[in-house]
């Protein structure tokens, strides 16, 4: 277990594991849902996966909304790569900056989970569909994450050509 934790980068810790643990703990406190696990090893993987989902929602939904609202502005990707090669701190600053997106997503998702819980109490039929709704949402999230990551790789390749 220690060897596995040693291999997890600070990016993974702060962008996946931390938000996953916080989501699991806080959701148990503010809703009737509990994502915490008895088994520590399974719990770490579940929290990591939850954090990954939280992060992807931040990347796919929250960030684009904030950009459309002009709350966030980004430099052109080619400029980012060129500047990163000249100033190594930009990558580090970007990593810390990216930590705030999953945390923002985390708190929005906790509010949405509470709202879903309230809707579910009014429409008990949703309880029978929870697994299907969750699977559909996860499929959607990872399908679009795959597309976004592929686009990111293509941009990086093109910036080097």
pLDDT of residue 7: 65
Task: Give the relative orientation of helices 40-57 and 89-122 as an angle to the nearest 10 degrees.
Answer: 100
Burial 134-153 (b: 16+ CB within 10 A, else e): eeeeeeebeeebeeeeeeee
Q: What's the pLDDT tens digit per position in 6-59?
A: 667 777 788 899 999 999 999 999 999 999 999 999 999 999 999 999 999 999
pLDDT of residue 56: 96
pLDDT of residue 95: 83
pTM metric for this prediction: 0.86
Residue 77 — pLDDT band, cuts 50, 70, 90?
confident
pLDDT of residue 37: 94
Taking the C-alpha atoms of residue 53 and residue 72, their distance in angstroms, rounded to an integer, is 22
pLDDT of residue 2: 66
Q: What separation in angstroms does the CA of 117 have from each of 5, 34, 86, 109, 150?
A: 34, 12, 49, 12, 35
If you average pLDDT over every residue of the chain, what do you get?
91
Q: Is the pLDDT of residue 75 over 90?
A: no
Q: Are 22 and 13 in contact (CB under 8 A)?
A: no
């Amino acid at each position: 277990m220690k060897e596995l934790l040693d291999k997890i980068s600070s990016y993974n810790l702060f962008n996946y594991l931390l938000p996953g643990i916080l989501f699991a703990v806080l959701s148990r406190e503010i809703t009737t849902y509990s994502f915490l696990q008895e088994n520590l090893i399974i719990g770490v993987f579940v929290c990591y996966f939850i954090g990954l989902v939280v992060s992807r929602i931040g990347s796919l939904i929250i960030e684009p909304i904030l950009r459309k609202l002009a709350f966030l502005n980004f430099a052109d990707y080619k400029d980012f790569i060129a500047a990163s090669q000249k100033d190594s701190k930009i990558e580090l600053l970007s990593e810390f900056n990216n930590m705030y997106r999953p945390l923002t997503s985390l708190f929005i998702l906790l509010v949405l989970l509470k709202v879903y819980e309230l809707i579910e109490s009014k429409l008990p039929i949703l309880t029978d569909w929870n697994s299907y709704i969750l699977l559909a949402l996860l499929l959607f999230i990872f399908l679009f994450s795959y597309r976004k990551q592929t686009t990111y790789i293509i941009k990086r390749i093109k910036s080097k050509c």
